[in-house]
Chains A and B, each alone.
Chain A
Amino acid sequence: MNKIENLLEKCKEYAFDLDFNRAKQWKSEDDSRVLVGYMPIYFPREILHAVGAMGVGVFGGGDRKQIIKGDAYYQSYICHIPRSIIELALDKHMDHLDGFIFPSICDVIRNLSGIFKQLKIGRFVKYMDFPQNFLPEVGGKFYQDEMKHVLKYIKELNGVELTTENLNHSIELYNKNRRLIEHIYNVRQEFPWRLSIEDVYHVVRAGTVIPVEEHNEILEELCAIIDEDIGTPMDKIKVVVSGAFCEQPSIGLIKAIEEAGCYVVDDDYVLGSRMILTDIDSKSDNPLEAISNAYIYHSQYSSSIYDVHNPKEYRLAKIAKQRSADGVIFASASFCDPSLLDAPIFQNAFDKLGIRYIAFQYSENINQYKVIKEQVGTFSDSIKLWED
Chain B
Amino acid sequence: MSKEAQKERSMVLQKEMIAGLFNDLANAKELGKKVCYTFIPGNLSELIRTFDMLPVYPEINALQSAMRKKSASYIKEAERNAHSEDVCTYVKCDVGMMMKGNIGPTGQKIPEPDVLLLSYTGCFTFLKWFETLKREYPNAKVIMVHTPYQENAEMTPEMTEYMVKQFTEEVIPQFEKVTGIKYDEGKLKKHLELAKEAEDWITKIFDTTKHKPSPIDAYFAGVYYIGPINIGFRGTEKAVEYYRELYSEIQERIRLGLGPITPEGEMKEEKYRLVVEGPPNWTSFREFWRIFYDIGAVIVASSYTKVGGVYDMGWRHDPSRPLESLAEYCMNCYTNLNIPQRIDLLSKCIENYDADGYITNSIKSCNSFSAGQLGMMREIEDRLEIPVGFIESDLVDPRYFSYSNIKNRLESFFQMLEQRKSMETINEK
Contact = CB atoms under 8 A, between A and B. Distances in A.
B86 A113 contact: no
B91 A138 contact: no
A343 B340 contact: no
Interface of chain B, main secondary structure: helix
A217 interface: no
Contact of A118 (B132, B170, B379): B379
Interface string A95-116: 0000000001111101111110
Contacts of B174: none
B375 A115 contact: yes
Contact of A347 (B82, B370, B371): B82
Nearest to B116: A308
B128 interface: yes
A337 B339 contact: no
A82 interface: yes
B158 A142 contact: yes
Contact of B151 (A107, A129, A131): A129
Interface string B356-390: 00000010110110111111101100000000000
Contacts of B86: 77, 334-335, 340
Most chain A Cβ neighbours within 10 Å, of B120, B134, B365, B367 = B367
A74 interface: yes
B343 A132 contact: no
B312 interface: no
B127 interface: yes
Given A118-B340, A138-B169, A342-B128, A129 B149 contact: yes
A138 B167 CA distance: 10
Contacts of B166: 133, 138
A344 B81 contact: yes
Given A138-B170, A341-B87, A73 B131 contact: no
Q: What size tier do the contact residues of chain B reach? A: 35 or more
B165 A114 contact: no
Interface string A319-348: 000000000000010110110111111011
B127 to A, nearest CB: 5
B110 to A, nearest CB: 21
B67 interface: no
Contact of A344 (B83, B134, B375): B83
Contacts of A127: 149, 151, 338
A82 B371 contact: yes
A135 interface: yes
B367 A126 contact: no
B146 interface: yes
B269 interface: no
Contacts of B374: 72-75
Contact of A343 (B84, B123, B125, B371): B84
A128 to B, nearest CB: 8
B135 interface: yes
A183 interface: no
B135 A348 contact: yes
A245 to B, nearest CB: 14
B82 A341 contact: no
Contacts of A306: 118, 120, 127, 131, 144, 146
A4 interface: no
A340 B87 contact: yes
A117 B339 contact: yes
Interface in A267-309: 303-304, 306-308
A132 B120 contact: yes
Contact of B146 (A108, A137, A139, A348): A139
A353 interface: no
A74 B374 CA distance: 7
A341 B144 contact: no
A106 B82 contact: no
Given A118-B375, A126-B151, A138-B166, A337 B128 contact: yes
A305 B144 CA distance: 12
Contact of B368 (A75, A107, A133): A107
B162 A142 contact: yes
A179 interface: no
Contacts of A225: none
Contact of A308 (B134, B340, B367, B371): B134
Interface string A144-160: 01000000000000000
A126 B338 CA distance: 11
A127 B378 CA distance: 22
A141 interface: yes
Contact of A75 (B124, B134, B149, B370): B370
Question: Most chain-A Cβ atoms within 10 A of its Cβ — which of B158, B342, B365?
Answer: B158
A131 B148 CA distance: 8
A321 B99 CA distance: 32
A78 interface: yes
30 contacts: A73-B374, A74-B374, A75-B364, A77-B364, A78-B371, A104-B149, A105-B124, A111-B367, A115-B339, A118-B340, A118-B343, A129-B148, A132-B127, A133-B144, A133-B146, A133-B162, A133-B170, A135-B170, A138-B165, A142-B162, A306-B131, A306-B146, A308-B134, A308-B144, A337-B88, A340-B84, A341-B84, A341-B132, A343-B84, A344-B82
Give the 3 A-B CB pairs with smallest separation, nearest first.
A114-B339, A127-B151, A341-B128
Interface of A: 72-75, 77-78, 82, 104-108, 110-115, 117-119, 126-127, 129, 131-133, 135, 137-139, 141-142, 145, 303-304, 306-308, 311, 332, 334-335, 337-338, 340-345, 347-348
